[in-house]
A = this chain, B = another copy of it.
Amino acid sequence: MEIKSYKKNFSYSYSYGIFPTVELIRAKPDKVVKVLVSSRYKSQSDSDIFKLCGRYNINTEVNDKAINRISPRENNYVVGVFSKYDCNLNDRCSHIVLVNPGNMGNMGTIIRTLTGFGLSDLAIVSPAVDVFDPKVIRASMGSLFSINFKYFENFDNYKEKFHNHRIYTFMLDGAKSLKDVKHNDYKPFSLVFGNESTGLDSSFSSVGTSVFIKHTNRIDSLNLTIAAGIAMYHFCKI
Contact = CB atoms under 8 A, between A and B. Distances in A.
Instruction: Indicate the member of A113, A220, A233, A238 with the most B CB atoms within 10 Å.
Output: A233
A219 interface: yes
Interface in A167-219: 213-216, 218-219
Interface residues of A, number: 26
B238 A214 contact: yes
How many copies of this chain? 2
B113 A222 contact: yes
Contacts of A229: 222-223, 226, 229-230
Contacts of A116: 215-216, 218-219, 222
B113 A216 contact: no
A238 B223 contact: no
Nearest to A118: B216
A109 B223 contact: yes
A215 B117 contact: yes
A143 B222 CA distance: 12
A223 B108 CA distance: 11
Contact of A216 (B109, B226, B238): B238
7 contacts: A115-B216, A116-B215, A116-B218, A143-B219, A215-B238, A229-B230, A233-B233
